[in-house]
Structure formats: structure tokens, C-alpha cells
Amino acid sequence: MNERVVIVSGGSRGLGQGIVEALIARGDRVATFSRTRTAFVDGLIERCPERFYWAAVDASDGAQLKAFVTDVYRRFGGIHGLVNNAGVSADQLIAMTTDEEIDRLLDVNLKSVLRLTRDVSRVMMRQKHGSIVTISSIIGTRGFKGAAVYAATKAALDGMTRSVARELGPKAIRVNSIAPGFLETDMTAGIPEAQRAQILRRTPLGRFGGVAEVAALVLFLLGDEAAFITGQTITADGGLTC
């Protein structure tokens, strides 16, 4: 088995946790960060101390992100994959959105991804290979009430993906994004029942997605099976946007 080193941002819960679990199960070495430690993180540190690394990092702090990347590189001797997963959501009409809320979403969902991608790309350029997968959202391509700022950040990530793919392709670094639809996670747990029913009616597969289903797509894009795919946004939404 080809043992890789993969950084997953925000891997302590939700979709990030599912991605970390899938990578560990594959035999990869995984480094992740989040603001707070969870029971999931504690369990992996105990179970896989050689292959799992976690640090407390505030994604909105560029210096902390850079130090984390340097730390992972020194600890594992390389970085083969990056999964930009960390993100926050907000349900707020644009007319009622505060400056603080706009800044918070831009800091975590966009600026931190740009910084982390920059810092990891520097390592990957030297290695002459790598794969970067960014979790965007169907909300970046379709309109959803109450999601203006979140949508702006996710659309921006797809734009970043295409441009960085063009920049780094000559160094054999692939860059793709995944646009999940609605998944069964904490982030969607608060969706009101009526809205949930409406989403399900409009989804051909008639259900929310599972974390493991998106994690499988992340593993595919990170791996050699996707060696000729770069600059793409792959949608996994049960057909909601078809």
C-alpha cells in the first residue's frame, strides 16, 4: 500500500472526521487541526499515534497555519495530499448580515484555504507531485436563501481550484474541488423540517448524502485513479442540481 501524508483541515468532526477515518483506514498518515480537541481526536491519538497528528489551530490565523504545515512536513517528511475541509456556515439574510459575520466566514472559508493551499503548494512544488481537494458546495453554484456569504466563499473556492490547477499542473500537482449537496452532518441538523422536506422532494435520490460517500470521492481525487483529473469541481448531491 502506498502510504501518503495527507493534511485535512477541520478533521475533528462532521465531514472532516469522515475523511480522516477513511484515510486512516486506507493506511495513510493524516495530520489535521481544529480549534478544539474532540473525543474522536483523542481516540485516534491513542489508536494510531504513529499515523495521526492533531494540533489546535485557529484557521483564521495565518501564522498558525504556516507553522502547522512546517510541523507536518518535518514530522512526516513530505505532504502528498491536502484536503481543504474546514468551514463554517451561517443562515442569515444578506440584509441582516453583520460585518463581523461576513469577516468570520471569509476568514475561515476562504482566506484560510488560500493560505493553507499556498503553504502546502510550496512543499508539493519541491516534491513535484501532490493532490489538493477542496470541499466547496452546491450552494456556490445555485442560489439558496440565507446563504449569500457562505455561497460567495464556496463559489470563490471553485474559482481558486481552476486557477491553481493551471498554475501547478506543470509541477504534477492536481487541484480539484468537491461540491457536496446536503449531507447528514451537524451543519445540516438545524435545517427546519419543512425546508428539509422540500430539499428531499427536489433530490432525485430522495435522501441526504452520507459523509462516507463524500469521503470516498475525496480518496478517489487524492489517488492515482484520478491522475488525469485536475481543475474540476465534482458534484455529489443525489441529483439535486441536475
The site for other proteins (CB under 8 A) is made up of 73, 121-123, 125-126, 128, 167-168, 170-171
User: Which one is catalytic: 53, 68, 76, 150?
Assistant: 150
Q: How near is the Cβ of 73 to other proteins at its closest, in Å?
A: 8
Q: Is 73 a catalytic residue?
A: no
Cβ–Cβ < 8 Å for 120, 79: yes
Shortest separation between residue 164's beta carbon and other proteins, angstroms:
12
Gap between the Cα atoms of 235 and 9, Å rounded: 20
Instruction: To the nearest 10°, report the CA torsion of 135, 229, 159, 99.
Output: 10
Q: Cα separation of 120 and 116, whole Å?
A: 6
- Torsions phi, psi of 128, nearest 5? 70, 25
Minimum Å distance from CB 236 to other proteins? 31
Min dist CB 62 to other proteins, Å, is 10
Would you please indicate which residues are annotated as catalytic (active-site) residues?
150
